[in-house]
Every structure is written in structure tokens, then in C-alpha cells.
Amino acid sequence: MQTGSARRCDRVHLAASTGAVTRVGRLTDWLPDRGAGVLPVQLAGRGPLNDVFYITVRATCTLSNNSVNLSELRGQASFPADGSEGPMSPLAQGASYFQMFARRGGIAAVWLLCLALTSATAGAAVHPVPLDKNTDSAKCLECHGEKAKGKSVHTAVSTGCMSCHEIRVNKDVTRVKLITATPSSLCLTCHADKKAADIKGTVHPPAVRDCTTCHDPHASDNKNQLLKPLSGDEKENLCLTCHKTGLHVPEKGSRHTALDMGCDTCHTTHKTGPEPTQENRFHLTKSAPDLCLDCHDAKDEKLQKAHNNQPFAKANCTQCHDPHQSDTPKLMVKFQHVPFQGNGCDTCHAPAKEGKVVLTQPDAKALCLTCHDDKAKTIETAKVQHPGAMGDCTDCHNPHASNQPGLPKTDAVSICTTCHSDIDELRKKSVHHQPAFAQGCATCHTPHGGDNEHLLRAKGNALCLECHGPDAAPKRDEASGVLTIFNDQVKLPLDYYQKNKVPVLPLRFGLGHPVEYHPVADVMDPSNQSKVRTKLSCLSCHQPHASAQPGLLINDQANNMAFCDNCHKNRINMKETTSPGK
């Protein structure tokens, strides 16, 4: 049995609280794959110049002669004095989404997005033959017998087709659909422990959206009803549908032979936990080095010689080796400490004694300072000191290698949040600032000490505008394969701006965000330019780390006019403002 995919709206009727909204022509520029199009409408009635035009739109979507009432949408538009287009704020709530660009007294273009509708009339597939609504599973299997055959058959099949599907009969038309709105919600009726919203930790992305991305809901020749096995080449391996690990290895690079044994040799896809450990974050069967030692014998003479007879059995192998592939021999990670990279182990190490590491200096910090005494001076003399930098360098840094610049011992985020647990708590919020929880805290903060409050790399808006300002100019270092910002102090991947879609604000003279002529910095008193009339900065509106809403707005507020009301109390005159928070 199959359930049909959602049908697009063939016709749309709109009505608005501000008077008649009359459709002009047919829905145009329809995008079937996105379920969106442009609908020209005429707004009847006008407001005064610069007035805020409140609009409530009710949309009815017609699908194959069956009307489905979409959720009510609310928004507002203001018409500028120059008669130019003014934006209508969209609200991504309910079953529809719209955005209006209106000319005063003119034509407005409404973008209407009809989401998947899974009612009996909208989401169900028409069955090719009539069925009685009380049809049993035996009847289904007369045609769909293959659904109950395979090396791995879903246990739900034994409970009967109607445990997941239902039959609807209306005017001699038979439709078969799932008993829930979406496939994933159906799966969770039994597999509640897989509900991403209730799991604390890193969840495999496909498991968040749709179980059938990886699993056949009925039967398969692969364990756990997987669509493909977890081993083999790109066409055969299910994981390689999304992950391209091990497929494109440079000529002088290296590839871990364990990849040929299957991804499940090291990974358990649904495994996770609240602690941000390597085992939980990467869904490993166990942590390194125990995982590595399942195959690699620490007593092997060749392996000991490769490690210069230094004890390594209890070390985390992935701090130096990439477990999948590398651009260099021996699966070495991208960033390596210079003595380590040059095989100069004796620079720091004396021969091991009784199975223990022996350094060439009395302790780790003294050893590091033989080369990095400049860092010691920074730590000791900084105007704003970092207490965490006062201990051993190896509290934070790996002395050999790392996947990230600066050689952090874990990763560029967890290395800080281990101590800064208040920031780690913000990880639970749904929207993260990319540098805070992905690229690393040192993107914005100086880890060894600095001149600015909170160890920030720049004061005020200058910190944010280093990436988001119109004059942002990261330097491109092709030789090292990185971009640099903050006077070469911070290194980013070459594709950082494109991959993360970093917004660059169209500011001129401190104006231009979130709308034209809106200030982003202190507003001075026109009668006394040395006096601040309204204090303003990026932090007046945005949170720097995380939020429960898109836009990282303060107090986890939604991006709508209610947020603007915090300062703009009078919607009739938006130029009348109060200081943020007052």
C-alpha cells in the first residue's frame, strides 16, 4: 500500500481583514517541488503615508475539488512616504507561509507556500481498485505479498496492515493512507525512544526528519530493514548516499582500510547521550583508544616503532589520526605541531621509562615555554586575564596534532564549555550562532588574555562587523587553505562564508539594518553631537550565542513586529522610539 504525496494547490482564494483582496489572474511562477508561487492581488483601501497596514489573510487551498482551509496568517506592512515597496513581515506559523511586498494602493505579490497536507482528501493515494473499509490484511497481501518477505521483516507487519494504514471510502473512491500525519510520527508510536525532540545529545540528522530515509517500513534483505547495506562501494553503501568519506582520497593521501569492513564496524547510528563525548557525538560503538585497539595491537613491534617506542596504548588515537581518510600519509590529521610533523620527537621527549612518558623539561608548561614564551607573556600581562590559561598548556592543547587550528585537545567548542558550563547550557536552544557552537569560541574570544571585556577580539559592533559588515575582508591564504580575520589571528576554512551563508549587512554610515536607515550604533543627539540620545549596538537586539528563535533575537523573541514594539511603541510613527529595554 502506498500513501500519495501532498498535492499542490490548484486554486487559492484569499480574503483580508483590511477590505477586499481580489486575485488578479492565476497563480503564476508555480514551483511544484517547493509548493510555492506568486499570486498577484489588489489591495483595496489605503492608509496614510508611513501608516502601518495590518493584514490578516485567510487562505483556502483547493486540491482536486476538495477545499482545505489553511491556517490563518497575520502580518503587517508599512507604506513608505516615497511610495516604494514596503515589506510585510512573514510569520512561519501554521500550514502556510506568505510574504507580501505592497505598493500603497497598488498591486501586491503574495508568495504562498502550501505545505504538505495529509488530510483524508489531500494526503491519501487513490487505490486502483475499490476496497471495503473493513478490509483485512489477508486481502492486502494478495497483491502486496512482497511487503511481508525478506531477510529482515518489520515486526509491525505481523500485527497487520491496519496497524499502520487505514482505508477511507468516499463516494466509491477508495483511498489508503497512514494512520498518522507523517511517516516519522507513525514510527514514533512504537519507537518513542528515537524521538529527536526528547533526546539529549547529537542525533543523526536523517533520524530527526524521516525514518524512511534509511529504513524500509516493511521488509528488506538488510538488517534493521535498511534500504541498503552499510558496506560496499558508493552505489551499494547506504551511508555513502550522504557521506562521501573515503571516496575522494588525494594521490599522496591515505585511506583507512576499516572503511571496507562497513560503517557499522565503528558506528552505531542511533547511539548518543547528553555528554558531548566523542562516542556520543559521532555515534561510536565505543570510545578511542578501545575502539582502535579492537583491530590494532598496541604490542605490535611495527606499531611501537612507528611511535618511536613511546607509550601510546592509552592515548586517544584520533587526536593524531583521522579515522577515515587524510590528505597525508598514515592518516595524519590536518594540523600538526611543528616538532611532531618533522618527526622531532626527541625535542620534547626523552626515552620512555617503565612504560611512562619522560619529557626533556621538568613539566609540560616549562617544556612549552622553551618555544612559546610569547604566550606566557601575553597570559601574565594581559589587561583582561583568562584564569583557564594559567595552568598547563596541555590542559587545553594537544601537544601533537588536531583537526582544528590551535591544536585544541578536544574540539574548539568543548575545550571551552568544559569550564564555561553556563554557555554549554545554551547548546540546548534550537538556534545557534555558528562560531559559538561549531567553528569555536576563539573566533570571537582571545583564549590567552586580551584588552577587551569578556576577552573579545574587538570592542562593540566592530566584533560582529568583522564578519557581517560591508567592509568585511577576510584574507585568503591559498597555501594554507584558510581564510584569516582579525589581523590574521583567526583562521577559517576557505568556504566558510559560502557554506555557512554568512549574512553581510548593507550598512552605510552606521545605518541599514534590519531595514534601510535603521541605526545599528548609538544615536547621537542632533543638538549636541557629544551626547548619546539612544544607546544602540548589535547586542541591543541580538544574543551572541544562541536563541530559541531564528535571528538570535534577545529574550528568545520571534522576528515580528511585536519585537520591534520593544523600542517603537507608537506604530503610527515608527520614528518615535525609546531605548531598548525601557
Q: What would the pLDDT profile of 59-100 be if each residue is shown by its tens digit?
A: 444 444 333 333 333 333 333 333 333 333 332 222 233 333
| CA separation for the pair 231, 352 (Å, rounded) | 40
SS3 content of the chain, % helix, strand, coil (to 5): 25, 25, 50
Which residues are 359's β-sheet partners? 349
Report which residue type is found at 96. S
| CA separation for the pair 337, 398 (Å, rounded) | 9
Asked if the model's pLDDT at residue 226 lies above 70, the reply is yes
Mean pLDDT of the 447-453 span: 95
Asked if the model's pLDDT at residue 189 lies above 50, the reply is yes
Q: What are phi and psi of 455, to 5 degrees?
A: 60, 30
Q: What is the mean pLDDT of the chain?
A: 80
Q: Give the pLDDT confidence of 26-38 residue by residue, as tens digits.
A: 333 333 333 333 3
Confidence band (pLDDT; 50, 70, 90) for 480? confident
Confidence band (pLDDT; 50, 70, 90) for 5? very low
Asked if the model's pLDDT at residue 406 lies above 70, the reply is yes
Strands (E), 333-467: 335-336, 349-353, 356-359, 401-402, 431-432
| CA separation for the pair 480, 108 (Å, rounded) | 50
Q: Domain residues of the chain, as ranges?
A: 11-114, 124-227, 334-457
Residue, of 537 and 83, whose pLDDT is higher:
537
- Residue 85 pLDDT: 35
Confidence band (pLDDT; 50, 70, 90) for 581? low
- Peptide linkage before 514 cis (omega within 30 of 0): yes
Q: What b/e sequence results for 321-335 when a residue is b if at least 16 CB atoms lie within 10 Å of its CB, and e otherwise?
A: bbbbbbeeeebbbeb
Q: What b/e sequence results for 110-148 when a residue is b if at least 16 CB atoms lie within 10 Å of its CB, and e otherwise?
A: bebbbeebbeebbbbeebeeebeeebebeebbeeeeebb
H helix count then E strand count, the chain: 14, 28
| CA separation for the pair 151, 223 (Å, rounded) | 7
- Residue 582 pLDDT: 57
- Residue 133 pLDDT: 86
- Residue the block writes with cell 531564528: 550
* SS3 category, 345: helix
- Residue 577 pLDDT: 79
∠ CA 240-246-247, nearest 5°, is 70
Asked if the model's pLDDT at residue 349 lies above 60, the reply is yes
Instruction: Identify which of 69-83, 198-212, 456-470, 560-574 has the greatest average pLDDT.
Output: 456-470
* Contacts of residue 344, Cβ cutoff 8 Å, sequence gap at least 6: 338
CA dist 379 to 213, 259, 393, 445, Å? 50, 43, 11, 14
Mean pLDDT of the 447-462 span: 96
Of 6-15, 172-181, 328-337, 358-367, least confident by mean pLDDT is: 6-15
- Residue 578 pLDDT: 76
Q: Which helix (H) or strand (E) holds 255?
A: strand 254-255
Asked if the model's pLDDT at residue 266 lies above 70, the reply is yes
- Residue 410 pLDDT: 84
Of 91-95, 100-104, 109-113, 319-323, least confident by mean pLDDT is: 91-95
- Residue 580 pLDDT: 66
Mean pLDDT of the 135-162 span: 92
Q: Which helix (H) or strand (E) holds 365?
A: helix 364-369
Asked if the model's pLDDT at residue 504 lies above 90, the reply is yes
In sequence order, what DSSP letters do the residues of 191-212 get, joined into one string?
-GGG-GGG--S---HHHHH-GG
- Are 164 and 217 in contact by the 8 Å Cβ rule? The answer is yes
Which residues are 349's β-sheet partners? 359
CA dist 215 to 61, 218, 296, 398, Å? 33, 9, 32, 40
- Are 511 and 519 in contact by the 8 Å Cβ rule? The answer is yes
| CA separation for the pair 259, 245 (Å, rounded) | 9
What single DSSP character describes residue 301?
H
- Peptide linkage before 289 cis (omega within 30 of 0): yes
Share above pLDDT 70 across residues of the chain, in percent, rounded to a whole number:
78
Q: Is 562 exposed, middle or buried (0-12, 13-18, 19+ CB in 10 A)?
A: exposed
Confidence band (pLDDT; 50, 70, 90) for 275? confident
* SS3 category, 273: coil
- Are 204 and 269 in contact by the 8 Å Cβ rule? The answer is yes
Asked if the model's pLDDT at residue 198 lies above 70, the reply is yes
| CA separation for the pair 581, 391 (Å, rounded) | 40
CA dist 302 to 233, 422, 461, 463, Å? 30, 46, 55, 50
Q: Which three cell numbers stand for residue 455?
A: 576577552
15-18-22-24 Cα dihedral, nearest 10 degrees? -110
- Rg (the chain; Cα; Å): 30
